[in-house]
């Protein structure tokens, strides 16, 4: 099997799953329980929070454990907008955010908030000048993804963060789900107030995540309940998942530097090989993009058809974001970049991981060439 859909999810580390099983079996008590077993679970939860904070270079009080990227984005966006609505009702985001962010903003619009959706250029990147023009005195929240999940474009997070450092009445949220461990981001120095990370994107268990909440940043919680996670995220903590995720977090960050170099080499191999296959159009920018994503159209072949054809070789790629890949509409990200609709419907996403090998990339390119020729022959 050649798995090239790592932007959708990654294969969990065996060590992370071993940790999950051990904690589930031996630390099953509720961390909120007063008895000794509950105390042991609470101590393990505290250690996990301290370890996560240390690995991310932040304070342990700034770590909120969540169920993943969707919850993290919703808690950050809705929580901040509602908490600071007394200051203003203007919000800024981009036209190419993940569905969990775009739909959250849509719900806020229904509640009377005004949202500016920044356009992107042909590389999928927002203009910092456009952002500055959109900013207003009553802007209470800016939310921009770091790395686009479909094409890999890196957004000007550093410039926006520096701009907002001098404007403390505006909260800055970054969806870092795709960029984590592939495009480094220093949370403590970036001007970021809220940052979303998802465990299953870096080989942790599904259903886990972290929302970084800078000290002093207010959030209205999404869930009413027992007040866990410092009153920000009620519900009994998923201790096995948290511990497994933190194990994966450590393992991933230990490999980050060499892993990024490896991913960059794989991306170059793809970029060199894809043009040898007739009718390819690469949508991922040549520069200013994450090293693990390549988005490409093969003219004349529908993406869904090609995905299923590659399955015959036990090779797995995707079309667009996994959260919306089952509808037959063209990618909204590619359309926002100015890609023609027919071409957008022909785009596949190839996404690698630290474990992906050069031999697997070569095998993929070979299979892609064969399947492309066969499909074009069948379609006349």
> Does the annotation mark 195 as catalytic?
no
Q: How many CA atoms lie within 13 A of 9 on its CB side?
A: 13
Contacts of 80 (CB under 8 A, 6+ apart): 140, 141, 171, 173, 193, 194, 217, 218, 219
131 CB-contact burial (10 Å; exposed 0-12 / middle 13-18 / buried 19+): buried
Contacts of 380 (CB under 8 A, 6+ apart): none
**256-273 vs 239-254: helix crossing angle, rounded to 10:** 70
Distance of alpha carbon 318 from alpha carbon 351, whole angstroms: 9
Give the active site residue among 253, 281, 282, 323: 323
Distance of alpha carbon 195 from alpha carbon 73, whole angstroms: 8
Q: How many residues does the chain have?
A: 380
Distance of alpha carbon 306 from alpha carbon 193, whole angstroms: 41
Distance of alpha carbon 293 from alpha carbon 302, whole angstroms: 20
Tokens 């490896």 sit at which residue?
262
Which are the catalytic amino acids?
323
């Amino acid at each position: 099997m050649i798995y090239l859909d790592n932007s959708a999810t990654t294969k969990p580390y065996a060590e992370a799953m071993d940790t999950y099983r051990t904690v589930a079996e031996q630390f099953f008590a509720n961390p909120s329980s007063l008895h000794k077993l509950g105390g042991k679970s609470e101590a393990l939860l505290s250690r996990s929070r301290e370890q996560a904070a240390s690995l991310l270079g932040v304070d342990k009080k700034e770590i909120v454990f969540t169920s993943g990227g969707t919850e993290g984005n919703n808690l950050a966006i809705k929580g901040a907008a509602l908490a600071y609505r007394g200051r203003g009702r203007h919000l800024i985001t981009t036209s190419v955010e993940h569905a969990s962010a775009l739909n959250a903003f849509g719900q806020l619009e229904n509640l009377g908030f005004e949202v500016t959706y920044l356009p992107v250029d042909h590389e999928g990147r927002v203009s910092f000048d456009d952002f500055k023009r959109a900013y207003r005195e009553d802007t209470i929240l800016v939310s921009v993804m770091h790395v686009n999940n479909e094409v890999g474009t890196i957004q000007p997070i550093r410039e926006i963060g520096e701009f907002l450092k001098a404007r403390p009445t505006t909260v800055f949220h970054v969806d870092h789900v795709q960029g984590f461990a592939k495009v480094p981001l220093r949370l403590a120095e970036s001007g970021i107030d809220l940052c979303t990370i998802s465990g299953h994107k870096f080989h942790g268990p599904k259903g886990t995540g972290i929302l970084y909440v800078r000290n002093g940043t207010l959030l209205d919680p999404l869930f009413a309940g027992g007040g866990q996670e410092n009153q920000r995220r009620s519900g009994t903590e998923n201790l096995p998942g948290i511990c497994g995720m933190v194990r994966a977090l450590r393992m991933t960050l230990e490999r980050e530097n060499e892993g990024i170099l490896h991913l960059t080499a794989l991306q170059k191999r793809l970029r060199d090989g894809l043009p040898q296959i007739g009718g390819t159009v690469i949508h991922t920018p040549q520069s200013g993009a994450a090293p693990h994503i390549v988005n490409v159209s093969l003219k004349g072949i529908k993406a869904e058809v090609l995905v299923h054809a590659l399955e015959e070789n036990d090779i797995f790629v995707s079309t667009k974001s996994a959260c919306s890949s089952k509808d037959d509409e063209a990618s909204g990200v590619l359309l926002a970049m100015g890609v023609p609709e027919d071409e957008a419907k022909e785009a596949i996403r190839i996404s690698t991981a630290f474990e992906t090998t050069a031999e697997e990339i070569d095998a993929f390119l070979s299979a892609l060439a064969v399947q492309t020729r066969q499909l074009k022959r069948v379609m006349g």
